[in-house]
Amino acid sequence: MNKHDSSRRNFLRSACGHCAGIGALAALPAFAQDLSSIQVPPRFTRPAADTDEGGLWGMMDREESRLRRSPLTIKDQALQTYLTDLVCRLTEGHCPDIRIYPVRQPHFNAMMAPNGMLIVWSGLMLRAENEAQLAAVLGHELGHYLERHTVEQLRAAEQTAVLSTMVGLVGGLGTMVGQIGLAAGMYSFSREHESRADRMGMRLMRHAGYDGREAATIWDNLLTEMKITGGKDAGKTGDIFETHPATEGRRDELLQLAGTAGGIVGEESYGKAIAPLRLGWLQDEIKRGQYEESLVLFDRMLKKDPRDVQVLYARGEVYRLRDDGGDTERALADLNVASGIIKAPPETFRSLGLIHQQRRDPAAAVRAFESYLAQAPQAPDAAMVRSYLTEMKP
């Protein structure tokens, strides 16, 4: 790696935000439950363009313009309104300066730039069980923003001279949204910054009336999901965890910060907000190909609602694709239950058809494929399914 590449990488590490949710998982010292001494600063004024911070804002402004045009950015207005309202409840006066962008990526992540650009991944929104859990992750992101940690890092790393060389270079957040693997090396906030962001995030949550204990729950859920493949080292190595080592004690530390006062959870309102997009996010999770992790997620969802037809389809499809020791029977069980529930995803019947086709049961396969085409005649794979029917019908 040449000197320029090294400087560019170091600069991006300082400038491009951090892994929210995951960044929040770094080990923290114990804190008292009293967060009343934490003050939210007044709104920030835009720094002069000829300063290090001003140059950083300008670069992030350009990346934000790219992000607006990206096909990965979710353009659903109802979801946008919901997320904006949530952020405004948390920010205590900073709402006019913050723009939130939901993006379709099946990973647990969120990040924030110093110019007020806040990005949240669909994989995080899929895993959040309620509004309070999402507020916990976004609150941590906002904590870094309000504490101005990105600017502190930039100055500490003495990377201000790199700003002038970054103009016109390809990279930054607009491109990074589609490069989750690269993102792992871009977030390395210090333990002190993580601690301060956690405390500020909990302060924002509690002031907005949310149940702070949900912050511990979303972390506990994620760690359980990661343990299925990471074992005892889950949360310490691999992917974005590499720059944010975590321990199981994280849950207890978050609970200590949260206290026992309770508050808003918002499960029903959150469910309604993501409902129109949820099936697509579940399909993205299937395509991610991390079947063991996905099964932990889907099992948890079905424990809350055993007749969640979208998740029954998703789990059945994962079993079908994994196809490992008894998975075909498990897939049939889930898909058969889903097919009998009103509003079953059309893909349920396609999956059933493929299983019956593999099992040499043409009559059952034809019935399933015909049901699929009746519900989704314009599906991208409709022509292929029709060819299957032509082959199987006498």
Q: Which of 126, 117, 112, 86 is nearest to 264 (CA)?
A: 86
* CB contact burial 48-68 (16+ within 10 A = b; e otherwise): eeeebbebbbbbbeebbeebe
Cα 87 from chain centre: 16
CB-based contacts of 212: which residues, under 8 Å, 6+ apart? 132, 136, 202, 205, 206, 254, 257, 258, 259, 261, 263
Rounded-to-10 torsion of CA 39, 44, 50, 55: 90
pLDDT of the residue at 196: 82
At which residue do the structure tokens 């490992």 appear?
324
At which residue do the structure tokens 């109802």 appear?
78
At which residue do the structure tokens 């589609």 appear?
178
- What is the SS3 assignment for 26? strand
CB 165 within 8 A of CB 7: yes
pLDDT of the residue at 228: 82
What letter does residue 73 receive in the DSSP assignment?
A: B
CB-based contacts of 374: which residues, under 8 Å, 6+ apart? none
Q: Record the tokens describing residue 347, joined without a space.
A: 């893909």
Residue 16 φ/ψ, nearest 5 degrees: -95, 25
Q: Which of 54, 261, 65 is nearest to 160 (CA)?
A: 54
Q: Record the tokens describing residue 23, joined without a space.
A: 């960044």
pLDDT of the residue at 372: 98
pLDDT of the residue at 158: 45
Inter-CA distances, 349 with 160, 210, 334, Å: 57, 40, 12
HEC string of 240-291? HHHHCCECCHHHHHHHHHHCCCCCECCHHHHHHHHHHHHHHHHHHHHHCCCH
- What is the SS3 assignment for 394? coil
List, for the chain, all residue ranges whose pLDDT scores fall below the cut of 70. Answer: 1-33, 153-191, 230-250
CB 185 within 8 A of CB 79: no
State the Cα–Cα distance between residues 187 and 20, nearest whole angstrom: 9
**Strand segments (E) across 71-213:** 99-103, 110-112, 117-121
Instruction: Specify the amino acid at residue 330.
Output: R
pLDDT of the residue at 171: 39
Cα 277 from chain centre: 14
Instruction: Specify the amino acid at residue 267.
Output: E
What letter does residue 45 receive in the DSSP assignment?
A: P
pLDDT of the residue at 189: 65
pLDDT of the residue at 87: 97
Q: What is the pLDDT of residues 241-251, one digit of tens each?
A: 443 444 566 67
Strand pairing category for 110-112 and 117-121: antiparallel
State the Cα–Cα distance between residues 99 and 211, nearest whole angstrom: 24
At which residue do the structure tokens 């990661």 appear?
226
Domains of the chain: 3-258 (no CATH), 278-392 (1.25.40.10)
Contacts 24+ apart (CB under 8 A), 267-271: 267/129, 267/130, 267/131, 269/131, 270/128, 270/129, 270/130, 270/131, 270/134
Sheet hosting strand 110-112, strand order edge to edge: 99-103, 117-121, 110-112
Helix, strand, coil content of the chain in percent (nearest 5): 65, 5, 30
CB 242 within 8 A of CB 254: no
Total residue length of the chain: 394
